[in-house]
A and B are shown apart, each in its own frame.
Chain A
Amino acid sequence: MSTVITVENIGKKYTISHQQREDHSSLRDALAKNLSSFGKKLAAPFLHRSRFPVPGSRSSASHEDFWALKDVSFEVKQGERIGIIGRNGAGKSTLLKILSRITEPTVGSIRIKGKVACLLEVGTGFHPELTGRENIYLNGAILGMGRQEIRKKFDEIVDFSEIEKFLDTPVKRYSSGMFVRLAFAVAAHLEPEILIVDEVLAVGDAQFQKKCLGKMEDVSVKEGRTVLFVSHNMGAVSQLCTQGIILCDGKLVQIGTIREAVTTYTSQYSSADSVDLSLLRHGGAQLYFRLLHLSLFDEFGRPATSFVMGKPVVVRLQIECIRDVSHVELGFKISTMMEQAIHYYVSSWEGMKLDLQQGRHTIEITIPSLLVFPGTYLVGAWASRDGEWSDDNVFPITMIEVISNDVTGYLTKNGVVNNFDKYAFSGGEVYAPSRWNHISHNLLEDQ
């Protein structure tokens, strides 16, 4: 089978400018500065072959380079169906935009053999004033179908969309469901050699999604077309695709069968009592440490993701020291689902003096009592040298669930254990024990 897409070292850089406050000594200076920089921008395309200049002159704004994609390379053979998965912000849509030629890569190259059609959005180019019929032609043309092709498939498209009755009403009168069905019907009848689809199945009801998925499968499986599919819907991706690619922070983290990819991806973002940290995004310079593995155990020593409020939790953290490090500080944190920190458990705060030699180490943390209210929380970990910023940190690692418990021994009037259900917690509250005493009782004066 021949290779139809070869992606080599693709990178996409965006320059983010940060405005710094400026004090202009006079309006005249401010104007003069702005006019000269504007003049330079206008002349730039004719003076040198550099990119279109960035807003703000060099002296007044600082620039930060943000690599949305870095060093991405892979090959796609004909007939393969590749699912591209990753968190939001991983670079999936950017990769698709580059493959569809909507934006240019900063470095790298891509070779594509065959006609490409891109579905980055459902209903691209639909004009609300035009009727359904007119929009079918317009949308079809925008997606790359010729007039003859659209005419030939017109009846099929109308059938698929199930909106024959409304074909001649302006699209602005359609309900959102009808809109999606029509848009998808046109898109589903594309017959390119390579199809690139971006999360468009996220709209529409379940039945229609199944229908679309079925049609895409037909198109690709029966006719051997190559498909690149980006989605957060693990079910859809597993059903349709043969291979999977995981993107994380602009880098290609894993490429293999779709099964492997989905398994890896879901284990990160659901609860897992044992997490391979090398697949997650790390922060920090990682000059000394690499966090490798995290395991969670309940009070009985069993691997768990669900813990009882007030009961002990045991955490095992495996790290690798790249070289001998002294004054090591390790930390474990629990935060709300909104990533607001609640508890920090830090080795040096407990008086642990750690000098680690090069190699792998496993550290165990025992939390005697989990002082958070019932709910779901995120956990993270870090490693640093005493007094410095973290050298390697990973957050969030996984989710844990905390269930209620008779922490206080308090029974409600029905004799039922207090499970805190009647209290609304926003997630950051912490349970802390306190002692209460009824001190005095006075009758009212005039009685």
Chain B
Amino acid sequence: MKQKENMPRKETAQQELLIEPNRPVLHYWRDVWRYRELFWFLVWRDILVRYKQTVIGVTWSIIRPLAAMIAFTVVFGLLAKLPSGGVPYPLLVFSAMLPWNFFANALSEGSGSLVGNSNLLTKIYFPRIIIPASSIIASLIELFISLVIMAGIMVWYGYLPDWRVVMLPMFLLMAFLPAAGAGLWFASLNVKYRDFRFVVPFLLQFGLYVSPVGFASSIVPEKWRLLYALNPMVGVIDGFRWALLNGTVELYWPGLVLSTALSLVLLATGVRFFRRTERILADVI
């Protein structure tokens, strides 16, 4: 008899859902897994919508980075004659544009995602993190298109990557961290304070010139490099260049570690802030 009393009650066939203020965190990530199909549907929707009713559609994803590459090459490479470490300047620029454009797209789409999907947020339940997550993942499409273009340019220059290209996915993951972190921060802030939709384009414009997109980070003097690495994209861009351009661009390890650590902090705090905002989303948006 005593044994039976100590045994835990048999779980009911159906799981019981408990709704209360300050729900425990455990259920949330389980829910995110359960709603994974919806996540993919939203990604699909975002991609479809971006290219519907456009004449040249996908071609924009080719023209934009190419045009920017040409502009940077002419201005920084030819006119300013900044050093490229022996690599054709267009390749230097384009290999940085891959992660930067991904970051910029992910951040701008992600930060507006909650406000843009307010109709869903007030009418349907699902773990809200799916929304910024799906905009960020949808930005990967442009990255893949750009990778194809990159391959094309490399063939043109007859410049082929070596074993280091295998490390590219790891750097891609590293690019994902600040994009997701900043995306979550801005998505949450934008809900309550609509001025943040002005902050993001401004930050991105500023970041485009501060980050080593148009130039190699080696031109930054040694003593400032660590400080420079406070910009998480510095480490990512250096990584992409290292992987794609046969290591002619050297990795600055302290900077890389700092950038990664910062990105992780950004992501962790971003998730936390998002979860706090999430609870009052339907009431505030």
Contact = CB atoms under 8 A, between A and B. Distances in A.
Interface centre among A114, A137, A141, by most chain B C-beta atoms within 10 angstroms, is A141
A112 B126 CA distance: 16
Contacts of B37: 141, 146-147
A113 B52 contact: no
B123 A124 contact: yes
Nearest to B52: A129
Interface size for chain B: under 10, 10 to 19, 20 to 34, or 35 or more residues? Answer: 35 or more
B217 to A, nearest CB: 31
A103 B283 CA distance: 7
Interface in B13-29: 14-23
Contacts of A14: 283
Interface stretch (A93-101, A227-235, A308-316): A93-101
Contacts of B53: 129, 170
A109 B272 CA distance: 24
Given A14-B283, A46-B272, A98-B19, A121 B123 contact: yes
A217 interface: no
Given A106-B21, A129-B49, A138-B41, A112 B276 contact: no
B12 A104 contact: no
A102 interface: yes
Contacts, number: 110
Nearest to B16: A113
Contacts of B123: 102, 118, 120-121, 124
A105 interface: yes
A99 B49 CA distance: 32
Interface centre among A51, A100, A102, by most chain B C-beta atoms within 10 angstroms, is A102
Given A46-B272, A109-B18, A120 B124 contact: yes
A101 B272 contact: no
B32 to A, nearest CB: 14
B119 to A, nearest CB: 7
Nearest to A128: B49
Contacts of A143: 124
A113 B125 contact: no
A218 B15 CA distance: 26
A142 B52 contact: no
B45 A138 contact: yes
B53 to A, nearest CB: 6
B45 A130 contact: yes
B19 to A, nearest CB: 4
Interface string B197-241: 000000000000000000000000000000000000000000000
B284 to A, nearest CB: 8
A380 B269 CA distance: 56
Contacts of A101: 19, 125
B248 interface: no
Interface in A177-213: 193
Contacts of A411: none
A31 to B, nearest CB: 15
A248 to B, nearest CB: 22
Given A52-B277, A105-B20, A111-B16, 8 more contacts: A99-B19, A102-B122, A102-B123, A110-B18, A120-B122, A124-B119, A124-B120, A124-B124
Interface of A: 14, 45-46, 49, 51-52, 97-114, 116, 118, 120-121, 124-125, 127, 129-130, 134, 137-138, 141-144, 146-147, 170, 193
28 contacts: A52-B279, A102-B123, A102-B125, A104-B21, A104-B279, A109-B18, A110-B18, A110-B19, A111-B19, A112-B17, A113-B15, A113-B16, A118-B123, A118-B125, A120-B123, A121-B123, A124-B119, A125-B119, A129-B49, A130-B52, A138-B41, A141-B38, A142-B124, A143-B124, A144-B38, A147-B41, A170-B52, A170-B53
Interface of B: 12, 14-23, 37-38, 41, 45, 48-49, 52-53, 119-126, 192, 269, 272-273, 276-277, 279-280, 282-284
